[in-house]
Structure 1
């Protein structure tokens, strides 16, 4: 087995690990370690972080997050379609219009159900 053929793969893995791990280590070593009341307060989750795990909480935060992920992933399909639209032709256009119609119907449904209302 010739290891020279695997050098680009190993280099890619090492650079990826370096880019992923180095900023975290540098931030941990050089960052301040002075938590205060504001830093430990509830941020976006809506409830205190250090309370009983069995407390009731509002699921609207998670519903909005799930809907965002769902529609964000659906819109991610538009980019490869748009890039290769000329090569794909009319069948791809019709298929994408059906997809967009399903997308709009789903969005209309959650809107009418009140899933996006914040009261």
Structure 2
């Protein structure tokens, strides 16, 4: 136990030293307003280059990520089909799918899946 603690402490100290050295040695950059502004052929920009982010797109992306993670949670169920008995597999799969369908129904009822405003 003592050896593990010593090794972990040494690794943390070496990591901190490396980060401090990298910060000291790294090239310093100064923020320049002209360099950070968008470039339009040498002219002043007509409008802001930063367009507002669509909240609807963000919501759809988050829902996609959630259901994508849920699909990855469904894949191990196929492997567990060989290990468990049939009744247990059917109960676990049905329960999990009912939770997913309940979430989908809730999103549908909240109007998060509608593209029309």
2:107 and 2:113 in contact (8 A); partners too: yes
Q: Which has the higher relative contact order, 1 or 2, with Cα contacts under 8 A spaced 6 or more apart? A: 2
Paired positions, count:
70
Superposed, 1:62-81 pairs within 5 Å as 62-81=58-77
Whichever of the two has the greater Rg, that structure is 2
TM-score, normalising length from structure 1?
0.51
Where structure 2 has 5 or more consecutive residues not aligned to the other structure, the ranges are 1-39, 41-46
Separation in structure 1 between the aligned mates of residue 48 and residue 64 of structure 2, nearest angstrom: 23
Separation in structure 2 between the aligned mates of residue 77 and residue 88 of structure 1, nearest angstrom: 17
TM-score, normalising length from structure 2?
0.51
**CA shift for structure 1 position 92:** 3.1
Q: Which residue of 2 aligns with 1:82?
A: 78
1:114 paired to 2:111: yes
Q: Which runs of 4+ in 1 moved over 6 A?
A: none
2:59 and 2:112 in contact (8 A); partners too: yes
Root-mean-square deviation (CA, aligned residues, Å) is: 2.5
Where structure 1 has 5 or more consecutive residues not aligned to the other structure, the ranges are 1-36, 38-47
**CA shift for structure 1 position 67:** 0.3
Separation in structure 2 between the aligned mates of residue 111 and residue 96 of structure 1, nearest angstrom: 22
Separation in structure 1 between the aligned mates of residue 97 and residue 82 of structure 2, nearest angstrom: 18
Q: Which residue of 1 aligns with 2:49?
A: 50
